[in-house]
Amino acid sequence: MDAMRATNFIATAASALLFSAPALAQSAGTPAPEKPKLIVAISVDQFSSELYRRYLAGYTGGLRTLSDGVAYPVGYQSHAATETCPGHSTILSGRHPAATGIIANSWFDLKTGSAIYCVATPGSSDPNARGPQNLHVTTLGDWVKAAEPGARSYALSGKDRAAITMGGQHPDGAYWWVDGVGFTTSTFAGPAGPAVTTALKRYDTALFARWKAAPPVIWPAASPTCAALEKPETFGKITLSGAIPPDLAAHVEENPAFLETTDFQDNLRASPLFDQALEAFAENVVTAHHLGHGPATDVLAVSFSANDYVGHRYGNGGPEMCVQQAALDATLGKFLTFLGSQNIPFVVVMTADHGGTDAAEREHRHDADASRLDSAAFVGRLNKAVEGTLNLSYEPIVGDDPQQLYVNVGPDADLHAKVQAAAIAWLKKQPEVRDIFTRAEVEAAVVPPHTPPDKLSMDQRFHESYDPTRSGDIAVAYAPRTSFGMPRGPGDVVAGHGSPWDYDRQVPILFWWPGAAKDTRTAPIETVDIAPTLAGVAKVPTPVVDGVCLELGGGAAKNCGG
């Protein structure tokens, strides 16, 4: 979708879909925000600067309000591992994934020979045990609670890994969605006694009862401009009609028992309704715990997930993301209106855990180099080549993520070196590959202090998400605009993220508070700058961080001290 079509979409669709957000007078030179009673950190999963700028001209709801504050349209998740868990771990910690230890959504553990999910609880036999035990750092909520008696911290998301990595080590509540259950938590993530679980079950029961009594609209009707984008598209081995609602989601609610069906749960995540459900839950948490009305500054982290599911399932260039963007704008507008009704001083920041790109087949119309890589088949060919070269009878390379390859041959250092050399020799001959770095090369690519994120070399980007105990032996950068995986059936991923290229690294970073002056800035800041900036606003000390405090105001008062 080009910029003109996106602008037209917003103009025609917004009035029907968007709630009004606070409209407050602004003036140049507005001072920094006063010490707030509530800090709200919002993440929109898979929300690239590219996507944000495509729709910016027509936002009229929450995204317009946030854009009219102190806005950095092009911020950076500086690291190469542009995935949900690493990205969220940077937002409120002020640290890159190299320090948070969250180097991917999952990584391969050579000692156990198994994959480790980033928020799985080590040593627990409960497959649903989730918590911050793999996170090496604290986050803003921990800092405020340590500095101010009575401060509270809550984190909410559609995804466990988003809520947990933003909530930090000692949240008063970390909640996420479980299909068929509703919002839940874990004893390993925060308080999960009867007082918490009873309230959660009560909320979930009421939510499902409302949906059963009046089946919710999973997908709102497409505006005329969004409808104009409806056309069949072939991605990999599947063809999608491009209709709104998508074929997969059409008529799901018509089943009398739709709430119990996997179709409903599956389609809920990849729809605007998922964000709406989280927003309503966020209002409930604020109200139930009187956030912002206690003796200290409270922290609320909210990560909206639908953008990511929609982008993965349908790509970001068609009518599905067109409708999702308008609905997201509406949902954020409703939330800001609610926050304004609390009559407390508050500050909001909005950013993203990573960017994304459209499905390669559609992206190819704008970029001739965009292509699809069947990553499983690619790693399979790599293994066969190495096996043949070294006369091995097993696959020596683990490459669930083809950008992080692990040499899995046990303690034999000589064989390890031969496998690595053979793999690199083969990779260098592949046209899909742009850069290859050994573990030693990534480890040596130390980033000098104060290096702007837009100036990082490729190996430095990998260094920012490198952990010596968790990262792979070979880091690979593939061609820009590569779509990984081969869609073979309805519901398969058609597009995504995870690369070290700027379309995956660049995300908007927007600060807003009642009375904020419109101030759009071009400096290439990083998501690791968010936490120290908010700590400055809250006037609490920070531990060692990778980011810097940003002065938000234009007046004499400073939020960074001095």
Q: Where in the sequence numbering do the catalytic residues fall?
A: 84
Does residue 152 come out as left (phi exceeding 0), alpha (psi in the -120 to 50 range) or beta?
beta
Structure tokens at 148: 């101010």
Strand-strand pairing, 371-373 and 482-484: parallel
End-to-end CA distance of the chain: 46
Q: Would you say 154 and 302 are in contact if contact means Cβ atoms under 8 Å apart?
A: no
Picking from 235, 244, 204, the residue whose alpha carbon sits closest to that of residue 495 is: 235
Spatial distance between the Cα atoms of 100 and 92, rounded to a whole number of angstroms: 11
Q: Would you say 480 and 467 are in contact if contact means Cβ atoms under 8 Å apart?
A: no
Picking from 93, 114, 113, 111, the residue whose alpha carbon sits closest to that of residue 102 is: 93
Structure tokens at 489: 């059936």
CB atoms under 10 Å from CB of 50, counted, come to 19
Collect all residues with Cβ–Cβ distance below 8 Å to 247 and sequence separation of at least 6.
Answer: 240, 241, 490
Q: Would you say 164 and 189 are in contact if contact means Cβ atoms under 8 Å apart?
A: yes
Spatial distance between the Cα atoms of 109 and 406, rounded to a whole number of angstroms: 9
Q: Is the peptide bond before 245 cis (omega within 30 degrees of 0)?
A: yes
Q: Would you say 528 and 3 are in contact if contact means Cβ atoms under 8 Å apart?
A: no
DSSP 71-97: EEEEEE--SS--SHHHHHHHHTT---H
DSSP 467-519: -TTTS-SEEEEE-TTEEES---STT--------SSHHHHEEEEEEE-TTPPPE
Picking from 389, 378, 377, the residue whose alpha carbon sits closest to that of residue 421 is: 389
SS3 346: strand
Strand-strand pairing, 70-76 and 519-520: parallel
* Radius of gyration, CA atoms only, the chain: 23
Picking from 76, 73, 79, 77, the residue whose alpha carbon sits closest to that of residue 457 is: 79
